Amino acid sequence: MENLLEISEAEVRINFILNTKCRCNLLLRSLCPSSPVAFKVQTSSPHKFLVNPPSGLVPPSSQVSLQIILKPQDQIPLTFPRSHSDRFLIRTARFDPDPDGSTQFDSVNSWLSTRPTQAIKLKVAYVGPFLLQHAVSCGDFDVVKNMIKRQKSVFNDLSAKEAESLLRVATQLDDNSEDMVNLLLEAGLKVAAREEEESPNENNVGYYQVDPRWESKGWSELHAAVTFDRTEELVALLRKGRREPLDCRDKEGRTPLHLAAAKGNIECAKLLVESGMDKNAKSNDGRTALYRAVVNGNRQMVKMLIEMDADPTIPDDRGRSAFDVARDKGHEEMVEIMERGKEVLMAARCGDMGRLQSLLHKGAAMNFQDQYGLTALHAAAIKGHKDVVLVLLELGSDLERQDNEGHTALHLAVEGGQLEVVEALIDAGANANAQTKTGVTPLYMAKTMGYDDVSQLLVNRGTCSFLPSASFSSSVPLT
């Protein structure tokens, strides 16, 4: 049966505060273009909840605001964020008015009771800073993680003092203090460090500067600066006085860029990339900064990293790339941003210089790889588009990037018999002795395919005469 209504939220999310009336607003959107939709809201806990309006009509292709009110509660919910006992049911039906045209709510209730209805089930989740603080103080890691997952904006509602208090509570836990602190910081908790006074001591120095747990994480000054979004301090560290290398790693293999991306600190992330930090570096789990930005749903961070030529196709240890995650999570705008890389590859394949330059000017990813591992440079090389190859090389395209079978751009230029492109790639510094996964070199490939002019060029440029005993067969789909 075709759905009649769409609900703006997948669950009733209550920002819970003890002894306070709490509200949740939903929108009921009609999916019926020709007639009104009647609805009635029921709850499993009528002693706790009020609904306004409890029933009514949604005009065709329109929407109605629904407010759910939790009466003041003197106890914390037994389970949260997901409630095991509280839920809502919205019954709907296409409304055919009575002959007298009556549309009063009592008439709608009566009318619904005599008609077959659709049922929309809504579960209840209790979230908000109050419950988050309680869960942190109890050391309940799973509850805190689930609350943050449901309400990524929870930290936005905290004052600087509340944020510092939350972090202090986490550091004072007996058992999983380090895990809890790490979870909060990774999720975006920001704590402004206090300035040193004329006679500094350990009580008035910025929190991250004195807490030994930062050292236990393997954090450098750069890690700490981006964690707390201290842009001015980061600039000072990058310009002078930095004691550690730019791509320093913590104990989880994360660079400062990983933390900046995970926490959504765009200015810090941009400063790091502009300073030369590896934008495609992997942490111990194989994730890049772009991957973390996608997981967090941070479109602006994704856009910035893609414009800085971060690669969305790099797989983590489970074989999933940032592009895969964006597609699986339904982040259409992110997918569109990253798919510009496909357009770059297509423009290079067709030799469309105007389109290529336009895409690159707009920040499209130059080193995007398709499902075969092919980049724009691979595509232009095998097709013999020397002008495209030269532009890509000038802009810093990765000469030694391999496709899924280990072919470099030079291998594919040889395969296509593109003498001028082969020469251009060697002039640019391409490794003429590069081997594929089966040990095939460009010279072996040229000899096998009977390209005497290409073979002679490679020999003249100092290519090793040794030919590995490997079979060669092309499976590059660039026709």
Using an 8 Å Cβ cutoff, are 356 and 340 in contact? no
Same domain for 363 and 275? no
Residues 263 and 309 in one domain: yes
Joined together, the tokens standing for residue 389 give 């190859």
57 in any annotated domain = yes
**In a shared domain, residues 154 and 302:** yes
Instruction: Output 197-202 pairs: Cβ under 8 A, ≥24 positions apart.
Output: none
What digits encode the pLDDT tens for the residues 181-207? 888 888 888 765 444 333 333 333 334
419 and 284 both lie in a single domain:
no
Instruction: List the one residue out of 192, 186, 184 whose CA is nearest residue 159.
Output: 192
Q: CATH number of the domain at 20, please.
A: 2.60.40.10
Q: Which domain holds residue 456?
A: 355-460
In a domain, 474, yes or no: no
Average pLDDT of the segment spanning 45-64: 93
Does the predicted model carry a pTM greater than 0.85?
no
Domain identity same for 112 and 224: no
**Close Cβ partners of 292 (under 8 Å, ≥ 6 residues apart):** 258, 261, 262
- For residues 477 and 479, give the distance between their C-alpha atoms in angstroms, rounded to a whole number: 6
Are residues 321 and 190 both part of a single domain?
yes
Q: Tell me, yes or no, whether 342 lies in a domain.
A: no
Report phi then psi at 249, rounded to 5: -115, 145
80 found inside a domain: yes
How far apart are alpha carbons 229 and 190 in whole angstroms?
Answer: 7
229-263: pLDDT as tens digits:
888 888 888 876 556 678 889 889 999 999 999 88
Q: How many structural domains is the chain composed of?
A: 3
- Domain assignment present for residue 112? The answer is yes
Domain assignment present for 347 = no
Q: What is the pLDDT of residues 329-377, one digit of tens each?
A: 888 888 877 777 788 888 999 999 998 888 887 767 777 777 787 889 9
- CATH code, domain carrying 320: 1.25.40.20
Mean pLDDT to the nearest integer, 159-173: 82
Is 476 within a domain? no
pLDDT at position 29: 95
Buried/exposed code over 282-302 (b: 16+ C-beta within 10 A; e: otherwise): bbeebbbbbbbbbbbebeebb
**418, pLDDT greater than 90:** yes
167 and 111 part of one domain: no
318 and 394 assigned to the same domain:
no
Question: CA-CA distances (angstroms) from residue 313 to 319, 324, 350?
Answer: 10, 8, 22
Question: What is the rounded average pLDDT for all residues in the chain?
Answer: 84
Judgement on whether residues 143 and 277 belong to the same structural domain of the protein: yes
Is there a domain that residue 470 lies in? Answer: no
Single out the residue in 73, 99, 126 at which a domain terminates.
126
Residues 244 and 116 in one domain: no
* Sequence-separated (6 or more) residues with CB below 8 Å from residue 479: none
Whether residue 137 sits in one domain with residue 258: yes
Q: Is the pLDDT of residue 476 over 60?
A: no
- The verdict on 162 and 284 lying in the same domain is yes
Buried b (16+ CB within 10 A) or exposed e, 411-432: bbbbbbbbbebbbbbbebebeb
**Closest of 362, 288, 279 to residue 325, by C-alpha:** 288
pLDDT digits (tens, 9 = 90+) for 91-148: 999 987 655 555 444 567 777 888 888 999 999 999 999 999 999 999 999 999 999 9
Torsion sign, CA atoms 357, 361, 362, 366: positive
- Minimal CA–CA distance to 28: which of 92, 85, 79, 101? 92
* Helices 452-460/419-427 angle, 10° precision: 20
